[in-house]
Chains A and B, each alone.
Chain A
Amino acid sequence: GAVVSQHPSRVICKSGTSVKIECRSLDFQATTMFWYRQFPKQSLMLMATSNEGSKATYEQGVEKDKFLINHASLTLSTLTVTSAHPEDSSFYICSASQSGNQPQHFGDGTRLSIL
């Protein structure tokens, strides 16, 4: 149980392109979803927390107009990297929890490469 599916697993695109990443909870309803970014050889950094039906809460230093998060249903959250540039290249990982105080279950991650 508690499976989180993330899609796509790998994206390579040109600078200026907008990229959408999906995060789905397959066998549970996720009230809260989290988006992380991980640069090579570094730890996971939380970008934002999203609760179903409300606006995402972004961490300090994360541009909300660049990283658009939508959590329109209890099983789906999306992260859109708008007008991506090479410095946005990273490993993006989502996680989901059934409620605010339940453990997080992680997706398989999306490796984004901007040329």
Chain B
Amino acid sequence: ELKVEQNPLFLSMQEGKNYTIYCNYSTTSDRLYWYRQDPGKSLESLFVLLSNGAVKQEGRLMASLDTKARLSTLHITAAVHDLSATYFCAVDKETSGSRLTFGEGTQLTVNP
């Protein structure tokens, strides 16, 4: 059974600081996703990582994938209040019909 674990589950940080959210998964997968969810809203797709060593950046967020370690990171640079949200990683396998398995989510609060 595929399991996805995120760390930390709760993160409170000050504006301007850097931090990393970690996502570990238990078996090989084809794709790794990062999503953002604001309170009361659905998921917003941030990144899709397909191969070992993949790195993608959008604004203050950068995601990377190490398939050998079964680890993805979401790095936040110089956090701003607008980044406050819950961040989910998820993985899927093409052979399972793209069935997604989600991590528990990381609730990020950026304080002024």
**Out of B43, B45, B94, B103, which one reaches A93, CB within 8 Å?**
B43
Interface residues on B, range: 10 to 19
Q: What are the interface flags for A62-99 relative to B under an 8 Å C-beta threshold, 1 for contact and 0 otherwise?
A: 00000000000000000000000000000001010100
**Is A104 in the interface zone, CB < 8 Å from B?**
yes
Q: Is B102 an interface residue (CB 8 A)?
A: yes
A49 partner residues in chain B, CB cutoff 8 A: 97, 99
Chain B residue with the shortest CB-CB distance to A57: B97
State the Cβ distance, B46 to closest chain A Cβ, in Å: 12
Is A26 close to B, CB under 8 A? no
Interface size class of chain A, counting residues whose CB lies under 8 Å from the partner chain: 20 to 34
B98 & A44 in contact (Cβ 8 Å cutoff): no
Give B86-101 as 1s and 0s: 1 = Cβ < 8 Å from A's Cβ atoms: 0010000010011110
Contacts A43-B88, A43-B102, A43-B103 given; indicate if A107 touches B42 (C-beta within 8 A): yes
In the complex, A104→B62 CA distance in Å? 21
CB contacts (< 8 Å) of B88 on chain A: these are 43-44
Q: A100-B94, A101-B94, A103-B33 are in contact. Are A93 and B42 (CB under 8 A)?
A: yes
Q: Which residues of A contact B (CB under 8 A)?
A: 6, 32, 34, 41-44, 46, 49, 93, 95, 97, 100-109, 111
What are the nearest 4 A-B pairs in CB distance? Answer: A101-B94, A100-B97, A109-B42, A106-B43
